[in-house]
Amino acid sequence: MHFLVITFVALIVLGPEKLPHALRQVGKTMGEVRRWSDTISSEVRGALALDLDDPPPAATPPAPASAAASIAGDPSRQRPSPLQEGGEWH
C-alpha cells in the first residue's frame, strides 16, 4: 500500500517522462548500498572469525620439568587409581 502511494506521488511530482529514470537511479543506489553493506558485513565476520581462531592465553605457566619428575617419581604424591586390583571401583 505504501509503495503505491509513493509511486503515485512520484508520478505527480516527476511526471511520466522522468519517473522511469528516477526509479532506475533509486535501484542503482539501493544496489550500491546493499553491496557496501555485504562488504562490511563480511569483513566484520572475518575479523570475528580470526578472533575466535586465536588460542586463549595460558592461565598458568607449565611446571618445571624437575617438579614434574619429582611428583611422578614420588608414590605418595600420586593420585590413587579409581580402579584397583580386581576391577573394583573405589
Q: 0.85 exceeded by the pTM?
A: no
Quote the CA–CA distance of 24 and 18 in Å, as a whole number. 10
- Flag whether pLDDT at 84 surpasses 70: no
Q: Encode pLDDT of 1-57 as tens digits.
A: 888 898 888 888 888 889 889 889 999 999 999 999 999 999 998 888 776 665 656
Quote the CA–CA distance of 71 and 19 in Å, as a whole number. 84
- Flag whether pLDDT at 82 surpasses 60: no
Residue pair 49/55 in contact by the 8 Å Cβ criterion: no
Residue pair 83/89 in contact by the 8 Å Cβ criterion: yes
Q: What b/e string do you get for 55-87 counting C-beta neighbours within 10 Å, with b at 16 or more? A: eeeeeeeeeeeeeeeeeeeeeeeeeeeeeeeee
